[in-house]
Amino acid sequence: KAGVTQTPRYLIKTRGQQVTLSCSPISGHRSVSWYQQTPGQGLQFLFEYFSETQRNKGNFPGRFSGRQFSNSRSEMNVSTLELGDSALYLCASSLASSGTSSYEQYFGPGTRLTVT
């Protein structure tokens, strides 16, 4: 079974621009979560989508948004990019059925975003 895929793998943007990152979960997984990883702040939870609805949200400004499609693929958008948005953005999927499998997350390779 294919793992979580993220595109693009690397991205360079300029301050003020916006960016869209994409994540395809493992087949059959219905939950997709996004995390930001930086050397200073570590791994921080952005938001989680399940069945096209945002189910959980972290403490990030409204410039960070996401959505999920009917095939469970998810996109994350960052508007008005700032230098501090430079990070590795990781997507994780989980089965999200009842029971413990809903808590088990599988991560993609990440998108390295550099804002100049």
- Interaction site with another protein (CB under 8 A): 4, 6, 31, 33, 35, 42-43, 45, 48, 50, 55-56, 58, 90, 92, 94, 96, 100, 102-110, 112
> Residue 88 CB, nearest distance to another protein (Å)?
8
Please say which residue, 20 or 102, places its beta carbon nearer to another protein.
Answer: 102
Q: Closest Cα to residue 31, out of 50, 4, 45?
A: 50
Range 99-102, long-range pairs (CB < 8 A, 24+ positions)? 102/31
* Sign of the torsion angle spanned by Cα atoms 50, 54, 56, 61: positive
Please say which residue, 91 or 115, places its beta carbon nearer to another protein.
Answer: 91
Please say which residue, 41 or 77, places its beta carbon nearer to another protein.
Answer: 41
> Residue 104 CB, nearest distance to another protein (Å)?
6
- Could you list the beta-strand ranges (E) of the chain: 5-7, 10-13, 19-24, 31-38, 42-50, 53-57, 64-68, 74-78, 87-94, 106-107, 111-115
> Residue 4 CB, nearest distance to another protein (Å)?
7
- Per the CB < 8 A criterion, the answer to whether 77 and 47 are in contact is no
> Residue 114 CB, nearest distance to another protein (Å)?
13
Please say which residue, 18 or 71, places its beta carbon nearer to another protein.
Answer: 71
